[in-house]
Amino acid sequence: MRSLLTVGVVAAITASTHVAHALPSACDSIVGNLVANCGFEQGGIPTPSWSGTGAIVADASLGPPHTGDFAAFFGSGGSVGSISQTIATTPGATYNFDFYYSSDGGTPNEFQAYFDGNLLFDSVNDPAHGYQLLHFLAAATGASTIITFAGRNDPSYQTLDDVSVTAATTEVPEPATLALLGAALLGLGAMRRRPQA
């Protein structure tokens, strides 16, 4: 019964792939986000940006998205299904890898996130919880990087939404801040050299 429902949902979603949605995804407004279709607003998998099997992209009929009208629902039974996307990166650069994940608590379940082939998150039999922001810093090894999400939930769905990858910036102190720090260190050094009474 579930497989027939899944096929019907996928067919309905695929037919509405190019429908304009009233609600944009929050990740679309993140400056410098390298992930295309970051909120899955294009509808069913595969899309021009996401490839994979065992994951369904659906509207709120399977559960609420974090933002926008769509989210990725992982409902594979018996083994994990996955989706992936290749993004352009700078070798050796560090990136913020962020996404929102929720679980309805149905077991067995599992949800994984990979950056450049490295497993960054793996949760097994997660209890029910709403969307949680997961944040990772990850280094790219080449000019392109594959981000992958894998999941299963035998009776229901694990949900993913609002994926972003942005260049991590390291803040360089302003010259005035460095001058103040230097003056403070010199002052401490001078105090230490004073003879004790």
**What per-residue confidence (pLDDT) applies to 145?**
98
pLDDT at 13: 32
- For residue 92, what are the domain limits? 2-171
Q: How many other C-beta atoms lie within 10 A of the C-beta of residue 70? A: 25
Q: Would you say 75 and 109 are in contact if contact means Cβ atoms under 8 Å apart? A: no
Q: Looking at residue 44, what is its pLDDT?
A: 77
Asked if the structure places residue 182 within a domain, the reply is no
- The answer to whether residue 149 sits within a structural domain is yes
pLDDT at 32: 94
pLDDT tens per residue, the chain (197 residues)? Answer: 444 333 333 323 333 333 444 567 889 899 999 999 999 988 878 888 999 888 777 766 788 899 999 999 998 888 889 999 999 999 999 999 999 999 999 999 999 999 999 999 999 999 999 999 999 999 999 999 999 999 999 999 999 999 999 999 865 455 555 555 566 566 555 555 555 55
Enter the pTM of the model: 0.75
Which residue matches tokens 């067919």?
A: 11
How far is Cα 188 from Cα 154, in angstroms, rounded to an integer? 63
Q: For residue 143, give both structure tokens.
A: 């000019």
Strands 109-115 and 144-153: antiparallel
- Based on the structure, what is the number of domains in the chain? 1
Question: 187 in a domain, yes or no?
Answer: no
The answer to whether position 180 is within a domain reads no
Does residue 191 fall inside a structural domain? Answer: no
Q: What are phi and psi of 27, to 5 degrees?
A: -65, -20
C-beta pairs of 179-184 under 8 Å, 24+ apart in sequence: none
- Domain assignment present for 83: yes
What per-residue confidence (pLDDT) applies to 25? 87
183 part of a folded domain:
no
Residue 76: CB atoms within 10 A of its CB come to 21
Residue 197 forms part of a structural domain: no
Q: Which residue has the tokens 């209890």?
A: 127
Q: Find all residues with CB under 8 Å of 37, minimum gap 6, and list them.
A: 47, 48, 49, 50
Q: Can you give the CATH number for the domain in which 22 is found?
A: 2.60.120.260
Question: Is the previous residue joined to 48 through a cis bond, with omega within 30 degrees of 0?
Answer: no
